[in-house]
């Protein structure tokens, strides 16, 4: 069964510190992997997308990495800010197809930044 | 600026009521989605539409139906609401073609069924 697992479930860090969120997946064949940020009371917003051939993708202070061999991805946040407090969701698509059920969402990591 | 709007942010309904959740997008996207989001479970796809009047069941379609009469509008219908349908409902849209393109989400509707 295609699955996407994220760790940790929740994380609290001090403002200014760095952190790394993990995503492991069993989805196959693989098409792409996205990281979304979901603020409380809002819908998710895409941060990065990576395809099979990409190892790293940055978006400001967010850097995503992908190891397609081990089926692992990470999202690294540098110099955290209070506005980074949110849930971060890993989403994996298994192929370019007409079926939206091939898009698998992780349950997310809840990140809290403390001043 | 991309925009997906949902008719209500919060909704309280009674068991057995018929419930309509409306979603409108202004980006001329072909694909529209309805998800529910529950703690610890991630987003689960209820229904998907890739064109006007076209729909496809997602992972958890039981107890729900959808309607897409116009390209910009996708409605989710709970024929007879039950307490286990208490959840956050998220609508999304994406460009046509492949369904794994970036999805743009609405703010969500938190539905409580009592």
Q: Is B2 on the interface with A (CB under 8 A)?
A: no
Average pLDDT of span A14-28 = 95
Note if the bond before A43 is cis, omega within 30 degrees. Answer: no
CA distance B92 to B105: 4
Nearest to B58 among A44, A97, A101 (CB): A101
Q: What percent of chain B has pLDDT over 70?
A: 95
Residues of A with CB under 8 A from a CB of B: 4, 9, 31-32, 34, 41-46, 49, 89, 93, 95-103, 105-108
pLDDT at A41: 87
CA dihedral B19, B43, B96, A32 (to 10 degrees): 180
The reply to whether residue B4 touches residue A32, judged by beta carbons under 8 angstroms, is: no
Within a 10 A sphere around the Cβ of B5, how many other Cβ atoms?
12
Lowest mean pLDDT among A40-49, B1-10, B25-34: B1-10
pLDDT at B95: 86
**Per-residue pLDDT tens for B34-87?**
999 998 888 999 999 999 999 999 989 999 999 999 999 999 999 999 999 999
A16 Cβ partners below 8 Å, 6+ apart?
A: A79, A80
The pair of structure tokens assigned to A29 is: 């064949």
| CB < 8 Å to A41, chain B | 9, 107-108
Residue of B nearest to A49 (CA): B102
Nearest to B40 among A34, A46, A107 (CB): A107
The pair of structure tokens assigned to A20 is: 């790394």
Radius of gyration of chain B (CA): 13
CA distance A100 to A96: 9
Would you say residue A96 has pLDDT above 70? no
CA distance B64 to A57: 38
Average pLDDT of span A84-110 = 84
Least Cα distance to A75 among A85, A67, A65 occurs for A65
Would you say residue A101 has pLDDT above 70? no
The pair of structure tokens assigned to B110 is: 């938190």
**Per-residue pLDDT tens for A28-86?**
778 889 999 999 989 999 999 998 888 999 999 999 999 989 999 999 999 999 999 99
Within a 10 A sphere around the Cβ of B102, how many other Cβ atoms?
16
Q: Do residues B61 and B47 make contact, with C-beta atoms less than 8 angstroms apart?
A: yes
């Amino acid at each position: 069964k295609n699955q996407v697992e994220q760790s940790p479930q929740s994380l609290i860090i001090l403002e200014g510190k760095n952190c790394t969120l993990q995503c492991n997946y069993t989805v196959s064949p693989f098409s792409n992997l996205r990281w979304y940020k979901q603020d409380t009371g809002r819908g998710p917003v895409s941060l990065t997308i990576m395809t099979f051939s990409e190892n790293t993708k940055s978006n400001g202070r967010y850097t995503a990495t992908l190891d397609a061999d081990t089926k692992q991805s990470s999202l690294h946040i540098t110099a955290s800010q209070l506005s980074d407090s949110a849930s971060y969701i890993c989403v994996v698509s298994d192929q370019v197809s007409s079926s939206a059920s091939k898009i698998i969402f992780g349950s997310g990591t809840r990140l809290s930044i403390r001043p | 600026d991309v925009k997906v709007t949902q008719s209500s942010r919060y909704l309280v309904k009674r068991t057995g009521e018929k419930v309509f959740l409306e979603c409108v997008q202004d980006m001329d996207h072909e694909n529209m989605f309805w998800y529910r989001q529950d703690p610890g479970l991630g987003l689960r796809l209820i229904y998907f539409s890739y064109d006007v009047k076209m729909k496809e069941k997602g992972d958890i379609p039981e107890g729900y139906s959808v309607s897409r009469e116009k390209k910009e509008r996708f409605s989710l219908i709970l024929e007879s609401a039950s307490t286990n349908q208490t959840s956050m409902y998220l609508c999304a849209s994406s460009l046509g073609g492949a369904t794994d393109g970036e999805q743009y989400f609405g703010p969500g509707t938190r539905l409580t069924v009592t």
